[in-house]
Every structure is written in structure tokens, then in C-alpha cells.
Amino acid sequence: MSMNLYPGFGLLLVDDEPSYLRSLSIALERSGGINHLHCCQDSRQVMDILARENIGLVTLDLTMPHLSGEALLRRIVEEHPDVGVIVISGLNQVETAVDCIKQGAFDYFVKTDEQSRLIEGIKRAIRLQELRQENLALRQRFLDDTLEHPEAFADIITDDKGMRSVFQYLESVAPSSQPLLIGGESGVGKELIARAAHALSGRHGPLVCVNAAGLDEGVFADTLFGHERGAFTGADRPRAGMVEQAADGTLFLDEIGDLNPASQVKLLRLLQDGEYYPLGSDRPKRARARIVVATHHDLEACQREGGFRKDLYYRLRTHQVQIPPLRRRRGDIPLLLDHFLAEAADELGKPRPTYPPELPVLLGTYAFPGNVRELRAMAYDAMSVHRSRTLSMAAFRRAIDPGLAGSEPSAEASIERHVFAPDEPLPTLHEVADLLVREALQRAEGNQSIASKLLGISQPALSKRVKKLRESGAEPL
């Protein structure tokens, strides 16, 4: 099985000492999981490699025969300004370091320094290069308003601009190995977004899904990290955890906001170190899966209130998307309704029905607290009792309860938030009533039956008000 390369761009190591190149390559792969490496001993070949390969970062020795590191630095900055350069020198000279930084080097290290400092510096430079490339790609996609891989989103039924922006962002960050945080209310389709992110990543491994809600510390550790034989009573044989099963793929942790504090610490260590210990083992294993998490909680508020670790929150939010609720993309309701009715009809062995044109209008007035999942349940329930050619609206009315089918948030909250200008006269009750009638008719697309239910009055009463509006010369819509 082919292994995923990290980072997505190549890292070119340039040094005339083959032993140093070999030791640095081994250290980067073992300690940093960095395996997308190119090595070069002859400084004269560097520019040809940059022209031929997708190189994003170069580590450059200063003292080399043929072409010095300083001369190479100037050429790389001039001809390949998008490539980052880290200078590694055998000399600890402040003036030389400052001069290299002025010329455009990202950082400067001395070979005699601790190797861990150098590796952390390289990892930091890789993250910054990834963010720069993602920003460029995202900006280009927004300017072009294009999707390079629309097939990755085929399972997500939408025609909403907000969702399209989410798709464009996912395409930009998909190659990254950094965590992805998916936020959104229950039922908006966060797992579908995780599947799309995995499909876009091009990773060879599988997508492994784990629901973190309700897992205590022991179960969480065993589920993610696995165990060795004899680790606890009943552990008769070793078992690979989900992290290992998702190797070279994606590990999706759903409902991450419900994770208990002890498990949050374990996840933080996994993200920080890239290593984990199976239960009962004293030998670490390197994680080769990308972490994608989802939650319906507001993690920023949770970490402010102390319910979620700040350091873990900032680790997880490197890349993040917020899926808009269905009430904010009402244009998707007819598309989703058609899809779910057809799906339910096929599953139940019934012909696909037609439905009254008022049905999408009625559903458009509902807040859908359960989002897409709730609409799907409505469609399946309506199809299960469907008998005639035209689908009845009765099942949808029962589910919605029109007396409570206001928009989100409640009408009372909307009124409380409305502030009248203190230096202007208040509108009369008659004027306010006319405004409410117009708003209800607009939301109901002119359907007086639905508009009257939104206003909590009978349809004849609404008809009288509409008639008075027309007699006064004002159009209700």
C-alpha cells in the first residue's frame, strides 16, 4: 500500500555532508512524521530541482563548495519567492544570521543546537507554508467561484451560496494534515462534510468514524489507541485502535464537545506529539491519520466557561467550517424535499408522488430545529401513509404544528430586540398590524392560509385586513 507523503509539498535538504543529510532525514521522519523529502549534496543542482519538483521549503547549509548558501539564498528568494528557506550553518554568528533573515530566510539554526529545536522550527515553517498555500488557493476559488472537485460533494443536496463557500474552503484545506473542526447544529450533515473532506484529501487510507459522546476515559483510550494482550482483565488478544485503523486516512471524531476532561488530555497529546501508547504498552506508535472533529456545541463558549480545554480548542481550530442551519438556506428545502420523497418512495416500493405547490411554502415558514435530518424524517413519515397520487400535507402539518411554526428565534425575542429610535414617533397599532400582514404574506409567498397561521388569526380575518389594505390604496405585497 502506498504511503501518504507529508507535507503536501516537498522539503529539499541541501548540504554537502551526506552523513548530516542522512541523520536529518531520519530525525524528521521519526520525530516529525515528515517524509516528503528530497536531498541534494551538490549546491549547483538546487535550482534545477526547484524548477522540476514541487518544493515548498528548503533547508540550506551556508558553507558549501561550488555555490555558497548565501548565493543560493539570494537566487531562491529572487526566482522562487513562494519557497521558504531555513538556513542551517555550522557557525554561530549573529551578524550572518541577521543578514540571512534580511535577505528573506525564514529562520536560522546552528548545527550544534539541539536537533529537537531544528525539527520544531521546520515543522513551524511547514505549517506557515501550508497556511499560505491554502489562503492563495481559497482566494483564487472565491475569485473564480469554482469547484475543482464537485464530485466530492455529490451526496450533499444544496444550491446555497453559503454551502458553496464551505465547499470551496474544504477544497483549499483538504491537502493539509492539520485538524479540521466542523461546527453546526444537530442534523445539518456534519458527517457528510467529513466524508467530503476525506475524499478531497486524496489519502489512501480509510475514513474511520467514532462518536465521542458518552465515552469515559478508559473506553475512549481503548477505542482510539487499542490495547496489548493482558492490558486489562479480558484482554486476551491485542487490538488495534481506531487511530491505527485510520492510518494514512482520516479519523473522524463526532460530538467532540461532549468529551470528558481526561479524554481531552489524551486527544491533546495525540495532536501535539503525533504519537500514542496502546493500553498496556510502553512503546509509542506514530499516528498517520488526519484528525477531523465535529460538534454541535459552541466550543469557543465552552472553553471560556471552562468546559473544554483552551489548548485543545486552539489545536482543533486550525481549520474550521460552520455549516449553516436549514432555516438559513430555505432555498434548499424544495431540493431536499424532492430528494427525500424520491428516496422514501424507492425504499417503500411506492410510485414517486407529486405534492401541492403550497407544501414548500409551508415548510419554508418552519424553523427546523432538527435541520435536514428532521425534514428527512417528515418526508419518510408522509410517504409511509401516502395512498393517493398527490401527497397529503397533513403529515407535515402534524409534524410542524402550525401554531408554533414561527421562525427562529421566537416572535417574542424578535420584538424584544427591536429598538425604536427615541427621537422618532412610535408607529400606531394600525400601522404595525399592516406591517405584520405584509411580512406574513411575503413569507407565505401570498398564500393566505399559511399567512393566517403565522399571524395566529383565522383566514377570514386576514382576508378582511388584506381587503382594507387594498381599499386604502396599499398593496399587501
CB-based contacts of 96, cutoff 8 Å, min separation 6: 62, 89, 108
Q: Is the peptide bond before 7 cis (omega within 30 degrees of 0)?
A: yes
pLDDT of residue 473: 67
Task: For residues 376 and 430, state if they share a domain.
Answer: no
Q: Is residue 395 part of a domain?
A: yes
Tell how strand 275-276 and strand 285-286 pair up.
antiparallel
Q: With the C-alpha atoms ordered 229, 232, 236, 240, is the resulting torsion angle positive or negative?
A: negative
CATH of the domain at 182: 3.40.50.300
CATH of the domain at 97: 3.40.50.2300
CB-based contacts of 302, cutoff 8 Å, min separation 6: 257, 308, 313
Q: Which residues pair with 279 in a beta bridge?
A: 227
Task: For residues 289 and 168, state if they share a domain.
Answer: yes
Q: Is the pTM above the cut of 0.85?
A: no
- Binned at pLDDT 50, 70 and 90, residue 412 comes out as very low
Q: Find the helix packing angle between 115-144 and 18-32, rounded to 10°.
A: 70
| DSSP secondary structure letter of residue 354 | B
Task: For residues 352 and 450, state if they share a domain.
Answer: no
CATH of the domain at 456: 1.10.10.60
- Binned at pLDDT 50, 70 and 90, residue 409 comes out as very low
Task: Give me the residue label for grid cell 488557493.
Answer: 137
pLDDT per position as a tens digit, 372-404? 999 999 999 999 988 877 888 888 888 887 444
pLDDT of residue 461: 80
Q: From residue 352, how far is each of 170, 341, 355, 357 by CA, in Å?
A: 34, 7, 10, 16
Task: For residues 354 and 432, state if they share a domain.
Answer: no
pLDDT of residue 132: 84
Q: Report how many domains make up the chain.
A: 4
Using CA atoms, how far apart are residues 291 and 295, in angstroms rounded to an integer? 14
- Reading the block at residue 322, the C-alpha cell is 460552520
Q: Is residue 413 part of a domain?
A: no
Task: For residues 437 and 353, state if they share a domain.
Answer: no
- Binned at pLDDT 50, 70 and 90, residue 406 comes out as very low
